[in-house]
Chain A
Amino acid sequence: MPTFVYMTRCDGCGQCVDICPSDIMHIDKTLRRAYNIEPNMCWECYSCVKACPHNAIDVRGYADFAPLGHSVRVNRDEEKGTIAWRIKFRNGKKDFDLLAPITTKPWGTAIPQLANESAPSQEMRDSHLLFNEPKYIQLDKDGKDSLHTLKSNGLTLKAGVYY
């Protein structure tokens, strides 16, 4: 269902405009608040809903097949590393919460800065290995023979055979 923005909650900060993958959250020039300018290009991906600091954005299911009166709300918390959902059915019979982790590490701390890694040797450059390989292909092993080749696996590429 496409997104919409509550008039009284939006302060026009533009976080949704900045994140929308479809470029459909824009600021209305008169009201200085955000709105969905092209609902039929909305994937209901919730990127803007999650990004809104005021919970001003919600979703109303696509009019051509989703009846009114439902709710799927979300709260994404990078500090806690969680995402919390609440789903309410149209008939009110189902109303439940779901919680999931979004990361196992403090945000952004565990990603290496490759510029600081030691430069690959010429031998490494001439090989078919990528960064962190061969070790990371089969993490628990010593890494020596980790990269599979046609030869190591006893294989040939052959034309003219059918499958």
Chain B
Amino acid sequence: MAYKTIIEDDIDVLIAGAGLGGTGAAFEARYWGKDKKIVIAEKANIDRSGAVAQGLYAINCYMGTRWGENNPEDHVRYARMDLMGMVREDLAFDMARHVDSAVHQFEEWGLPIMRDTKTGTYLREGRWQIMIHGESYKPIVAEAAKKSADKVFNRICVTHMLMDDAKENRVAGAVGFNVRTGNYHVFKAKTVIVGAGGASNIFKPRSVGEGAGRVWYAPWSSGSAYGLMIDAGAKMTQMENRIVLARFKDGYGPVGAYFLHLKTYTQNCNGEEYESKWFPALTEMVGKEYLDTENQHLSHKPIPTCLRNHAFINEVNAGRGPIHMVTMEAFQDPHLEEIGWHNFLGMTIGQAVLWASTDVDPKYENPELTTSEPYVMGSHATGCGAWCSGPEDVSPDEYFWGYNRMTTVEGMFGAGDAVGGTPHAFSSGSFTEGRLAAKAACKYIDDGKAEGIRVSDQQIADLKAKIYKPMETYTVYRNEIVAGDVNPNYINPRQGLDRLQKLMDEYCAGFGVNYMTNDKLLKIGLKKMGVFGEDLENIAAQDIHELLRAWELKHRFLTSEAVFQHTLFRKETRWPGYYYRGDAMKLDDENWHVLTVSHRDRNTGEYTMMKAPCYHLVSDGEE
């Protein structure tokens, strides 16, 4: 195939994927690396790429220390409680102590942040959320990234890391292809910051046909953060911690502003409050430390997201669905009604489209809610991602190896969904993590850690052959059949995605089996994944667009395999409402109050699973 090889050499900091994490990294890298070469490679256009492409109506992570609202440790405690204890608290604390400075800069750059007219502070939606008019959130931060970067390569799908041929386990850049021209792009870099995204569309979605695009997390979030890092041999953590969302049915419109700001609430089909009746049994499952039914209302501790899901799922299974969001009270206030609509237009337009098409006026009708298919990501109420070093002044020895946000592969850093154990970072926290990674990457270079990197022509040639193989397969076998997509020699990316989603749903606790799995199911699933992996060697792409889908699928596959391995490893039900291990239906602190860490051997594909200690922040004098 006559695709050109285009080599970009002498890069200091390469950013692979520029959503909120990647743009934060590009912006900040310029400050610490005045004369460093900073390059972005992004599979879409950074003006509208990543999970925030559509906009946001809230920034969900803002401390407000300037107004004495919260301290970083308050946020850590909140995230810990929400994730049933499983958080990298060093990373979470570090993010939280810097996040406000990012938000204050956003406001300076022109992002409209709403103010409380009485106090002059930012208008709070909830304790951590502030309300914004964020239609142009992404174009604004992209502008900042463009000002800092030497070059922005839009429409480059990064498929693999380049590895140093001189030193084991050290990164040397990345490769990919241009989804317009088809050309092969080689980025030789001293450091790489992975800003790519988490994974939608790896579990069978509730929607069928066209609606499969209306996933909760963006359909272009192809798990590339994990695919790239796992393939490079990085250790991963908490990959079992997938998230299920309770959202407006079909449109998956956000509920945060509805609950927190509009004060809407849920009820079952009979108009009854249903959550509390499931709590006593749930306390039995998870223990009083995590759900204290009697004292919860006194302590004002919010109920963990997964446990609220649990009540939802059980109420529906008991035959009292659907669950409704009671909007009819709040929407009588014209101001709140307007906010309710703006909320969708700002971040999930499809929900507004759905209500317009089904004539659902929430002023006169309480809309239905549903629980979504699971998603794998690391910046919402879940913390999947790479096992990264924390900052020197916070992290204990097990969590620290020299450079903040560096993965276990030398020179490869993470931000946003890429970093594991840091839930509740959201947009602002992801941007902040990018900034932290950028400073550390510059220091890594200045310390001489990237000296003597060598990339052989052989490695570059091998990766090129690998990347275009799906097109080769198509060319070779296409004419064996008359027409159509049914071919005994290959499957196309859509067919492969369908198989992945079915497998994940049935064996790895998707919505189709009520989020339930067990040891036996997981082992069968893994066996089938192994065979599927072989078939992925025979995936065919008829054009460059399909080649993009083929590589997205391969990244989704690597992500899914890690999810299987981690889910099998953690023999307990830590997050009822996200998933259940039917053979271990209780939370088991005695054996599993630990973070799970995996390593996939680059050469053999073999997985090794480990437990890592879970450190918690305690106030001096408190035990």
Q: Which residues of A contact B (CB under 8 A)?
A: 1-2, 18-23, 26, 37-47, 59, 61-72, 74, 76, 83, 85, 87-91, 93-94, 98, 100-105, 107-115, 117, 119-120, 125, 128, 130-133, 136-141, 146-150, 153-163
Question: Which residues of the partner chain A approach B107 to less than 8 Å between Cβ atoms?
Answer: 104
| Residue of B whose beta carbon sits closest to that of A68 | B357
A98 near B342 with CB under 8 A, answer: yes
What are 7 A-B interface contacts by the 8 Å CB criterion? A22-B44, A41-B213, A45-B349, A62-B350, A147-B97, A157-B615, A162-B85
A88 near B356 with CB under 8 A, answer: yes
CB-CB under 8 A for A70 and B112, given A47-B54, A64-B207, A155-B618: no
| Residue of B whose beta carbon sits closest to that of A20 | B44
Additional 13 contacts, C-beta under 8 A, given A89-B357, A148-B97, A163-B81: A21-B45, A22-B213, A23-B548, A41-B213, A62-B209, A63-B210, A83-B345, A90-B357, A90-B359, A93-B359, A130-B436, A141-B66, A147-B98
Question: Which residues of the partner chain A approach B43 to less than 8 Å between Cβ atoms?
Answer: 23
Q: Give the complex CA separation of A156 and B396 in angstroms.
A: 10
A108 near B143 with CB under 8 A, answer: yes
Query: B51 to chain A: closest CB distance in Å?
Result: 10
B213 near A40 with CB under 8 A, answer: yes
Query: A113 to chain B: closest CB distance in Å?
Result: 5
A63 near B209 with CB under 8 A, answer: yes
A162 near B593 with CB under 8 A, answer: yes
Q: Give the complex CA separation of A93 and B364 in angstroms.
A: 12
| Residue of A whose beta carbon sits closest to that of B212 | A40
Question: Which residues of the partner chain B approach A150 to less than 8 Å between Cβ atoms?
Answer: 93, 393-394, 617
Q: Give the complex CA separation of A38 and B47 in angstroms.
A: 21
| Residue of B whose beta carbon sits closest to that of A126 | B443
Question: Which residues of the partner chain B approach A107 to less than 8 Å between Cβ atoms?
Answer: 110
Interface stretch (choices B133-141, B309-317, B457-465, B561-569): B133-141
Which residue in B90, B210, B353 is a CB contact (below 8 Å) of A39?
A: B210
CB-CB under 8 A for A102 and B135, given A157-B615, A157-B616: yes
| Residue of A whose beta carbon sits closest to that of B34 | A119
CB-CB under 8 A for A115 and B140, given A130-B435, A130-B439, A155-B620: no
Contact with A along B538-573 (1 / 0, CB 8 A): 000000010010000000000000000000000000
Instruction: List 10 A-B pairs, minimum CB-CB distance, nearest first.
Output: A105-B110, A62-B211, A136-B101, A44-B350, A70-B357, A70-B356, A45-B54, A114-B30, A103-B110, A102-B136
CB-CB under 8 A for A43 and B350, given A21-B48, A64-B207, A136-B100: yes
From A40, A47, A133, A162, residue with most partner B Cβ within 10 Å? A40
B359 near A91 with CB under 8 A, answer: yes
Question: Which residues of the partner chain B approach A1 to less than 8 Å between Cβ atoms?
Answer: 210, 350, 353-354, 357
Say if the beta carbon of B148 comes within 8 Å of chain A. Answer: yes
Contact with A along B166-183 (1 / 0, CB 8 A): 000000000000010000
Q: Give the complex CA separation of A130 and B103 in angstroms.
A: 13
A136 near B618 with CB under 8 A, answer: no
CB-CB under 8 A for A85 and B345, given A90-B357, A100-B133, A158-B618: yes
Which residue in B66, B72, B218, B613 is a CB contact (below 8 Å) of A43?
A: B218
B199-223: which residues lie under 8 A (CB-CB) from chain A? 207-215, 218-220
B396 near A159 with CB under 8 A, answer: yes
Q: Give the complex CA separation of A14 and B283 in angstroms.
A: 56
From A19, A59, A76, A141, residue with most partner B Cβ within 10 Å? A19
Q: Give the complex CA separation of A91 and B140 in angstroms.
A: 38
Question: Which residues of the partner chain B approach A62 to less than 8 Å between Cβ atoms?
Answer: 207, 209-211, 213-214, 250, 350
Q: Give the complex CA separation of A62 and B45 in angstroms.
A: 25
Contact with A along B83-106 (1 / 0, CB 8 A): 001000110011001101100110
Q: Give the complex CA separation of A90 and B391 in angstroms.
A: 55
Contact with A along B333-351 (1 / 0, CB 8 A): 0000010011001100110
B615 near A158 with CB under 8 A, answer: yes
CB-CB under 8 A for A45 and B53, given A132-B101, A138-B66: yes
A114 near B31 with CB under 8 A, answer: yes
Q: Give the complex CA separation of A66 and B250 in angstroms.
A: 9
Contact with A along B114-147 (1 / 0, CB 8 A): 0000000000000000000101100010011001
A98 near B345 with CB under 8 A, answer: yes
Q: Give the complex CA separation of A40 and B494 in angstroms.
A: 10
Query: B397 to chain A: closest CB distance in Å?
Result: 10
Q: Give the complex CA separation of A72 and B393 in angstroms.
A: 51
Q: Give the complex CA separation of A137 and B140 in angstroms.
A: 20
Query: A133 to chain B: closest CB distance in Å?
Result: 5
Say if the beta carbon of B27 comes within 8 Å of chain A. Answer: yes
B353 near A70 with CB under 8 A, answer: yes
| Residue of B whose beta carbon sits closest to that of A131 | B31
